[in-house]
Structure 1
Amino acid sequence: MSITTQFLRRPLTTGAVAASSRRLARAMTQHTGLETARLVVELGPGTGVFTREILRQLPVDGRLVAIELNPVLAAGLFVTHRDERLTVVEGAAAELAEAAGAPVDAVVSGLPWTVMATAERDRTLDAVAGALVPGGCFTTFAYLHAAWTPPGRRLAAALHDRFATVRRTRVVWPNLPPAFVYRATLTTTREDTAGSGSAGPRASRSSRG
């Protein structure tokens, strides 16, 4: 299963030319409270680079719901990650509340926001904000070269419209292309106050088979 092949076949739903790096995966999952989370949702997991890091940090009694629109990638994720805590859902990210079935502690997104239709982007971000518990964390990334394009600016504005705090990490250079992470929360946390970097269905348990 190649993310590059899927991009060539389905560029509007895959979005990434190459799989994200482990360094970006670590940046995506830092300071998100995964170590104590009971329920986490991953949007657009692709080949599972972020999935692997989430599962590494998730408690033994935690649960991860990974929602992937691309059927080939969803099937591959089910095969490569044999973990009882993981549920793979083939469907739209905006349906995350239905897929999760309960309030969510953290949402980690690999979605290609800049190629999404505005209505779909807004619907998905509204769903994320509506599904998170108070103090829950949402992380997503943006490619450095696209950050100052009109779609990139609209994404940043959309995040600020919905979340009390939006912070931007340093650039992860060992990624193709280089990227940074947006970390957003519905309420201001102690770390946010002291920190820096604020930025202007079909489900299957992976243990089966």
Structure 2
Amino acid sequence: MSAVSLTTQFLRRPLMTGAVAASSRRLARAMTQHIGLEEAKLVVELGPGTGVFTDAVLGLLAPDARLMAIELNPHLAERLVATRRDDRLTVVHGAAAELARAAGGPVDAVVSGLPWTVMPPDERRRTLDAVVRALTPNGRFTTFAYLHAAWTPPGRRLAADLRNRFHAVDRGPVVWPNLPPAFVHRAVSPRQ
């Protein structure tokens, strides 16, 4: 398979690929800290793209844990399968809102690289509701937002949607070395 870059996929499918460049390792580290991945049995990653967050998650998971990565873009899903050799990883080509069905059991943590601020509002709400339904009562959800979009109406709606669906939500510090700079939303204990 030829090399597939996130930039190429963005140019070919801008509505399916929300980023122009892959996230940095520093953002991946911020996304995976303090969410209990070391004790998790089942983690779901939404929108793994080129696998930067996937690698960070796998680096923290126990040998008997599982990571299910759900990717809508078929080229990115194929690339992830072709480039990752870890029995704990299952890559699913499909929609993020189907995560509960795909996971097949209670999910301890969801790590999301989805482009929430460019997603149609109904799809964003449907996907967040699916995350809440799939998580265990003490489940954790982490996603990121680009700094420049945080104060836009879609950015504010995402923050409000998280507060409405989780008992505790916090925002991490800005990861300046990411392109563009970003910060992490961490949400704990979904409201059932």
Q: TM-score, normalised by structure 1?
A: 0.89
Correspondence for 1:12: 15
Match of 2:94 among 86, 91, 95: 91
- Please state whether the residue corresponding to 2:15 is helix, strand or coil: helix
1:143 aligned to 2:150? no
Match of 2:44 among 34, 41, 44: 41
5 Å-filtered alignment, 1:32-181, equals 32-181=35-184
RMSD: 1.0
Correspondence for 1:202: none
Uncovered stretches (5+) of structure 2, i.e. residues with no partner:
none
Correspondence for 1:205: none
- Please state whether the residue corresponding to 1:124 is helix, strand or coil: helix
Aligned partner letter, 1:178: P
Identity of paired residues, percent?
Answer: 75
1:105 Cα offset (Å): 0.4
CA–CA distance in structure 1, aligned partners of residues 39 and 155 of structure 2 = 32
CA contact (8 A) 2:142 2:187 kept: yes
1:3 aligned to 2:12? no
CA–CA distance in structure 1, aligned partners of residues 58 and 77 of structure 2 = 16
1:13 Cα offset (Å): 1.1
Distance verdict in 2 for CA 1:65–1:187, change over 3 Å: closer
User: Any runs of at least 4 consecutive aligned residues in structure 1 with deviations exceeding 4 A, and if so which?
Assistant: none
Q: TM-score, normalised by structure 2?
A: 0.96
1:135 Cα offset (Å): 1.1
- Please state whether the residue corresponding to 2:20 is helix, strand or coil: coil
CA contact (8 A) 2:135 2:190 kept: no
Uncovered stretches (5+) of structure 1, i.e. residues with no partner:
189-209
1:142 Cα offset (Å): 0.1
CA–CA distance in structure 2, aligned partners of residues 122 and 139 of structure 1 = 16
1:187 Cα offset (Å): 6.1
